[in-house]
Amino acid sequence: MIALPPRPDLDLASLVRTIPDFPKPGILFRDITTLIGDAAGFGESVRRLSARAAAYQPDFIVAVEARGFLFGAAMATAMGLGVVPVRKAGKLPGVTIGVDYELEYGSDRLELHEGAVLPGHRVVLVDDLLATGGTILATADLMRSAGAEVAAALFVIDLPDLGGSQRLKAAGLDCETLIAFDGD
Contacts of residue 130, defined as CB under 8 A and 6 or more positions apart, other chains included, come to 136, 153, 155, 157, 158, 159, 164, 165, 168, 175, 177
* Nearest Cα residue to 133 out of 111, 107, 155: 155
Known active-site residue 176: no
Is the separation of the CB atoms in 127 and 145 below 8 Å? no
Sign of CA dihedral 111, 37, 165, 118: positive
Out of 67, 87, 111, 176, the active site residue is 67
Known active-site residue 44: no
Q: How many residues are recorded in the chain? A: 184
Distance CA 144, CA 155 (A): 20
Q: Catalytic residue positions?
A: 67, 104
